[in-house]
Amino acid sequence: MNRLLTLAFTACMSLAALTAAHAEPLKIGMAPEPYAPFEWKEADGTWKGFEIDLGKAICADIKRECVIVEIAWDGLIPALQTKKIDVIINSMTITEERKKVIDFSDPYYSTVPAFIGPKGTEVELTKEWMSGKSIGVQIATTQAAYIEKVYGDVAEIRTYATQDEANADLVAGRVDLVIADKAPLAEFLKTDAAKDLGMLADVTDGGLVTAGAGVNKDNKELLAQLNTSIAKLLKSGEYDKLAKPYFDYDIYGLPRK
């Protein structure tokens, strides 16, 4: 009887291992444009960045292979809803509007929006100062919604498909300011192209924004797995090891349990 139980247990374990080995890859939706230090592609096509490493760590924990599916930024949520991808791990800010159509994991980093522009510009976050200014922002972002709501009636808001395009127009002098998350802007300011630009002002009335992994509302199992993995990474210290090569400050920026 004990031998039969042992054989049955061994068979179950073998089946479980086989199932895990043949689990469907986790299709991670990601916009193709670079968004350093969170993600970018090397010349050979290899993806690099903090969110790439974080995604790999999560996939290892839930025992699924990571596969990156490139989709334009404004097509990520539709792709998730039509199940072309399983999850969005692409610096997507958690907002009440987005939560109406998709679910988000617990936050895995936080930041504040900021303005960049020519060095020495003294920005005032008032309608009077912004009046007549041209401001570049990536389309379909929380910053685009913010800037349109607060200054859209007095400033010229120019939207771009990618952050790189907005930054390029700022370098060329075609816009006065650019607004985006502070972390990628700080990375851009390290480049030669941005040598005459500087960080001008944090958007304090926009508040701290948090990024989470987006999943379909009918995929509660994956949502729970993501939350468990993020909590594990934070508690074990692995999260800080992943972040260290990219940030010289705590990018998580939230109270830790």
**Buried/exposed code over 57-69 (b: 16+ C-beta within 10 A; e: otherwise):** bbbebeebebebe
Are 96 and 120 spatial neighbours (Cβ–Cβ below 8 Å)?
no
Q: Is 9 exposed, middle or buried (0-12, 13-18, 19+ CB in 10 A)?
A: exposed
pLDDT at 257: 74
Secondary structure of residue 85 in the 3-state scheme: coil
Sign, CA dihedral 79-111-169-136, equals positive
Domain spanning 113-206: CATH superfamily: Periplasmic binding protein-like II (3.40.190.10)
Greatest extent of the chain over all pairs of C-alpha atoms, in Å: 85
What is the pLDDT at residue 137? 98
Q: 19-109+211-243 with 113-206: one CATH topology?
A: yes
DSSP 3-67: HHHHHHHHHHHHHHHHHHHTPPPEEEEE-SS-BTTTBEE-TTS-EESHHHHHHHHHHHHHT--EE
Edge-to-edge order in the sheet of strand 156-160 = 156-160, 134-138, 177-181, 113-118, 197-202
Of the options 3.30.1340.10, 3.40.190.10, 1.10.600.10, 3.30.300.30, the CATH number for the domain spanning 19-109+211-243: 3.40.190.10
Model pLDDT, residue 18 = 38
Say which amino acid occupies 222.
Answer: L
Q: For residue 254, what is the DSSP state?
A: S
Per-residue pLDDT reduced to its tens digit, 92-103: 999 999 999 999
The amino acid sitting at 101 is: V
- Left (φ > 0), alpha (ψ -120 to 50) or beta: where does 124 sit? beta
> What would the pLDDT profile of 225-256 be if each residue is shown by its tens digit?
999 999 999 999 999 999 999 999 999 999 99
Please write the tens of the pLDDT for every residue from 116-158: 999 999 999 999 999 999 999 999 999 999 999 999 999 999 9
For the chain, give every domain's residue range: 19-109+211-243, 113-206
Q: Per-residue pLDDT for 3 more than 70?
A: no
Q: Report the chain's terminal Cα–Cα distance, integer Å.
A: 47
